[in-house]
Structure 1
Amino acid sequence: MKRSVVALLIIFFFGALSAELRYTKKTDFTKNFTSKYKDYKAVILVDLTNGQILYEKNAYDKLEIASLTKMMSILLVVEAIRDKKFSLKDIVTASRAASKMGGTQIFLSENEKMSVEDLLKSAIMKSANDAMFALAEKVSGPGKVDLFVDRMNKRAKELKLTQSEFNYIHGLPPSRKDRKKGMQGNMSSCYDLAVLAEELIKFPVVMKYSSTWMDTIRTGKNMFQLRNTSKLIRDYKYFDGLKTGFYWKAGFCIVATAKKDGIRMVAVVLGSKTSRSGRNKYINSLVTWGFDEVSKQKITEIKK
C-alpha cells in the first residue's frame, strides 16, 4: 500500500513538473548531430514552432551568463512600453550613476538627454551598460535600480525560469568587493534563456535592432556608431538575433535566433572559452542541422 502511494506521488510530481516545461524532447535527435567543437559548458537548440528540443547538453545547468543578463532587462523595458508606462519617444536624462558604468558603453555623460529608443537600440545592438542602466532607472525611478533587479527576479519566477538568478541589471562581473561578500555573477541555464528569447521575439522593436548590423546614435560631431555584437547576423544566412555576452568566468555566451521557411529556431551556447568565431561556426552548423531535421520530419509526416 505504502509503495503504491509513493509511486503515485512520484508520478504526480514528475507529471506536474513536465506539464510546466515549455519545451520537450519528443524525439531524441541528439545522436544525429556530430561536431568536433566541444568548447562549451552547455547548449540547447529549440524549434520554437512546436516547442521541440532538437538538441541539448547540460541545458539545465546553472551557469554565469555575462551580458545575456540584458535579455531580462530589455524584456522589462519593452513590457513597460507595451503597458504604456512610457514610449520609445520619451526622453531620458542620464544620471551620474549611469554615466559611471564600466565595460561596453556609449559614453553617456551626466544629464545627457537621449530617447528611450536610442538607449534601447544601444543596449540591444552594442550591449551598452550605461544605456541599460539609464533604461532601468526609467522603469524603476532614479536611484532605484535595486527595485529593477527585484523585478527581474520576480519576472523570472513568473516565466518559471527555475535556474535564473539576477544580482545586477547589466551582466558585468561582480567587483572584488562584491565577490568578497559572496555575491556571484548573474546565473541562468540554456533552457531558461531559450524561454526568455521566445518572450523577446514577440516584440518587433527587439527583433528590429537585434537583426541590424550597424546604426548610429546622436548627430553631427557627436555621432556614435553602433555595431552589433553578434556577427552571426552578418556572416550567416537566416540569423536575426539575439544577444551575446562575455567575461572571463562566464566565457563566450550567445543566444541566437534564426528563421527559415516559417520555422523559428533558438540556439543557446554557454561557457565557450576559446573564440567567438569558433562558437559562431558551431551555432551555424547546429541551426542548419536543425532546419534539415525539421524538414525531414515534415516529409515523413506527409508520406504517412
Structure 2
Amino acid sequence: MRQALSGIVSKSGSFFKAAMIVALAVTFAVADVSASMAAQYAAIVIDARTGKVLYSKDANGRRYPASLTKMMTLYLTFEAMTKGRINKTTPVVFSAHAAAQAPTKLGVRAGSAVTVETAILSMVTKSANDSSTALAELLGGTESNFARLMTAKARSLGMSGTVFRNANGLPDPGQFTTAHDMAVLGIALREHFPQYYGYFSTRSFMFGRTRINGHNRLLGRIKGVDGIKTGYTRMSGFNLVSSVADGNRRLVAVVMGGTSGASRDNQMAKLIDAYLPQASTRGNGPLVGRADNGSAAVALSKTLLPKTDVPTPDGRPAEDEEVASAEDSMPVVPAARPAVKVAAMTPAPAPTPQAAPQPEAPAMAAYAEQPKVDPVATASVSSSDTPSGWVVQVASAPTQAGAQAILDQTVEQARAALASATGFTSSYQKGSVTYYRARFGGFGSKTAAWRACDALKKKKIQCYAVQQ
C-alpha cells in the first residue's frame, strides 16, 4: 500500500513539475512579447510639407504609446468642437471612474466639472489622466466606447499599427502604436485643426489660483518647436512627438523608448538639428488620410452626441413669428450636474522647467472647494408647473440633471441679467429620444425676455426668447 501511494505521489510530483515548466514557459513567452514592445528606441522624422521620411529607426515596430494616446483624445475633441457638438465652455463632468484615474492628474473630485478648454490645457501641459477620461466619457458615453472611436479614427487616418483601449495612455497590454503612426497623427492634428493646434504650444496655465506647468521642455528651448506631446510609463520609456516650423520648413519627429527625459529630449534636438535643413520649402499636398464622414467613428459619435451645427439665431423674432424652429439650433450639452461651479482658467505663456511626467507622482489637490451658489429653482417638467408667458432658452441636454447643470452655470455667468428670472427644465421628444430644455421664465413681457437674452449673448451665452 505504501509503495502504491509512493508511486502515485512520485507521478503526481512529475506531473506538477511538468505543469509548472509549461506555465513558466508561457509566462516567459508573454513577457518576451511585452519586452519586445517595451522601452526600445524607435524614431522617425517626416517632412510635414511633402510627407517624405527623412529618418527612420524601427518606425513600424510596436510600442506602448503612454500619454501620446492623448493626441488622439484631443483629435476627437477638436473634431467635436469643429462640428459644433461641444465648445470651449461646455462642462466636462468628472465621474467616479474619471476622478479615480492614476496620476498624473488634475485632481478634480467626482461630480465636479471643468470646462472643455481647461480639460484640454490640463492634457497638453500636465498630461492629466483624469481630464482625458472625463472628455472620453463626455464624447463617447463610456471610455471603452470612446476607445473604439479612437481606433476607428486611427484607421481612417492611415494609422494601421495602432489600437487604443483607453483615452489617457495608462498601461494596457492591448494598447499599442508605432512611431510612424504617431507622426501621422501629429501631422493630422496640425493639418486638420489649425484653429486649435496652438493649444500644444501652451507652457503653463492658471487653474484657479494654481499655476500648472507643462512637461514639454523643448518648448522655448529649440527654435520653431511648437508642440506636441510627451509620454512616459515604465514599459514605454520616455516618448516625445515634436512639431517644428522654421520659415517655410516643417518637420514632425517622434522619439519613443528613451531611457530618460533628458536623453529623449537631447535625441530629439539632434534629429531636428540634423534634418530640418533637409526639409523642403515647397509643397503642401495631402499628407495624411482625411476623416471619412461615412466612417464607423463618425456614425457612432452622432448617435452618442447630437449634432448642433446650425448657428443660433441672433435676430429678434418678428411680432407674430413662430420661434419653435429655433429648437434645433440650440446647443445640446451632454453634461451631468456638477457639484461645484466650473473652475475658472487663465492661460499663461510663461515657461517653467519641469521634470518628465511620472505616473507614480502624488495627485495634485488643485481643485479647491468653490463658494456655494444658491441653486436655480427647478420646476417640474409637467406643463402645468412650467411658467407661462415669455421664456428664454439657453440650451438643452439629454438628461434633466444636465439641463439643471446648464441653468446653474448660466446663473453664475450672468446673475444680474437673470435676477428676476426662475430657471426650470422641460422635456421634449426628438424622434425616439427625450431631451430637456434649460429655460428661464418669469419675464413680464416679450421685451423683458429679449433684453435678458441680449444680456446673455453679450456674455457669449447662446439663447432665444419664445412664448410658451
Q: Deviations over 1:80-99 (max 9, x none)?
A: 11111111111122211111
2:202 pairs, out of 212, 218, 242, with 212
Which residue number in structure 2 is paired with residue 82 of structure 1? 82
Q: Deviations over 1:220-266 (max 9, x none)?
A: xxx23221111000322111100011011110011011110121101
Q: Deviations over 1:154-186 (max 9, x none)?
A: 111111211101111111113xxxxxxxxx052
**Aligned equivalents of 2:72 and 2:210: distance in 1?**
25
Q: Which has the higher helix share?
A: 1
* Aligned-partner residue type, residue 164 of structure 2: F
**Aligned equivalents of 2:54 and 2:178: distance in 1?**
16
Pairwise CA RMSD = 1.7
Which residue number in structure 2 is paired with residue 93 of structure 1? 93
**Aligned equivalents of 2:279 and 2:106: distance in 1?**
41
Aligned residues: 243
For residue 205 of structure 1, report the CA deviation from its aligned partner.
5.5
**Aligned equivalents of 1:63 and 1:121: distance in 2?**
26
Which residue number in structure 2 is paired with residue 155 of structure 1? 153
**Within the alignment, does 1:169 sit opposite 2:167 as a pair?**
yes
Which residue number in structure 2 is paired with residue 262 of structure 1? 248
Report the identity percentage. 30
2:232 pairs, out of 227, 233, 246, with 246
Moved over 6 A (4+): none
Which residue number in structure 1 is paired with residue 138 of structure 2? 138
* Aligned-partner residue type, residue 134 of structure 2: A
**Aligned equivalents of 1:248 and 1:294: distance in 2?**
34
Summarize the alignment of residues 1-304 of structure 1 with structure 2, pairs less than 5 Å apart: 41-141=41-141, 144-174=142-172, 184=173, 186-202=175-191, 203-204=193-194, 206-217=196-207, 219=208, 223-273=209-259, 275-294=260-279
For residue 112 of structure 1, report the CA deviation from its aligned partner.
1.4
Is the 8 Å Cα contact of residues 250 and 276 (structure 2) preserved in structure 1? Answer: no
Is the 8 Å Cα contact of residues 48 and 266 (structure 1) preserved in structure 2? Answer: yes
Q: Deviations over 1:65-113 (max 9, x none)?
A: 1111111111111111111111111112221111111121010111212
**Aligned equivalents of 1:292 and 1:261: distance in 2?**
11
For residue 63 of structure 1, report the CA deviation from its aligned partner.
1.1
| 5+ residue gaps, structure 1 | 1-38, 175-183, 299-304
Structure 1 residue matching 2:104: 3-state secondary structure: coil
**Aligned equivalents of 2:194 and 2:112: distance in 1?**
27
Q: Deviations over 1:95-138 (max 9, x none)?
A: 11111111210101112121111111111221100111111111
Is the 8 Å Cα contact of residues 92 and 116 (structure 1) preserved in structure 2? Answer: yes
* Bigger Rg, which one: 2
For residue 206 of structure 1, report the CA deviation from its aligned partner.
4.3
**Aligned equivalents of 1:95 and 1:47: distance in 2?**
41
**Aligned equivalents of 1:212 and 1:186: distance in 2?**
27
**Aligned equivalents of 2:61 and 2:196: distance in 1?**
27
Q: TM-score, normalised by structure 2?
A: 0.50
Is the 8 Å Cα contact of residues 92 and 113 (structure 1) preserved in structure 2? Answer: yes
**Aligned equivalents of 1:40 and 1:289: distance in 2?**
22
Q: Deviations over 1:168-213 (max 9, x none)?
A: 1111113xxxxxxxxx052111111111001111324543221121
Which residue number in structure 2 is paired with residue 7 of structure 1? none
**Aligned equivalents of 1:293 and 1:200: distance in 2?**
23
* Aligned-partner residue type, residue 201 of structure 2: S
**Aligned equivalents of 1:206 and 1:135: distance in 2?**
16
**Aligned equivalents of 1:270 and 1:282: distance in 2?**
10
**Aligned equivalents of 2:174 and 2:103: distance in 1?**
15
Q: Deviations over 1:268-298 (max 9, x none)?
A: 011112x111211111121121122237x98
* Aligned-partner residue type, residue 215 of structure 1: F
**Aligned equivalents of 1:155 and 1:85: distance in 2?**
17
| 5+ residue gaps, structure 2 | 1-38, 283-468
